[in-house]
Amino acid sequence: MTILSLILILIQVESSGNDLAVGDGGKAYGCLQMHAGYVQDAAEYAGEDWKHEDAFCRETSIDIFLAYMARYATYERLGRAVTAEDVARIHNGGPNGWKKQSTEKYWKNVQTKL
């Protein structure tokens, strides 16, 4: 599976493809349902000036996602090759989401779309 294929699946899971979606009580924006801290974290890593509202632009959301994963979904952090499951669970649960029990249900939902 390519990263682009996974991103498209995550967009379906998160927002059913709605670039203007607002969820999680108004805290999650855009097609990938990003929180402000996620965007800020990715922006710092990438050296960009992304703001939370930038998550409403699909192209920028994907750039934010890729920066976040470049920071956290790495061989060095996980101690092994990164899988689609790791990426999905980090997206859902933060930097250590790949090992949180709370992200297992999210991964199962993503798997149904694979």
Residue-range definition of the domain harbouring residue 44: 3-108
Please, what's the b/e burial string for 74-102 (b: 16 or more CB within 10 A of its CB; e: otherwise)?
eeeeeeeebebbbbbbbbbbbeebbeeee
pLDDT, tens digit, for every residue of 43-88? Answer: 999 999 999 999 999 999 999 999 999 999 999 999 999 999 999 9
SS (H, E, C) 31-80: CCCECHHHHHHHHHHHCCCCCHHHHHCHHHHHHHHHHHHHHHCCHHHHCC
Q: How many residues does the chain have?
A: 114
How many of the other CB atoms lie within 10 Å of CB of 113?
11
pTM comes to 0.97
**Domain assignment present for 113:** no
Domain count, the chain: 1
**Domain assignment present for 69:** yes
CATH code where residue 72 lies: 1.10.530.10
Strand, helix or coil for residue 85 = helix
**Is the pLDDT confidence value at 99 over 90?**
yes
**Domain assignment present for 114:** no
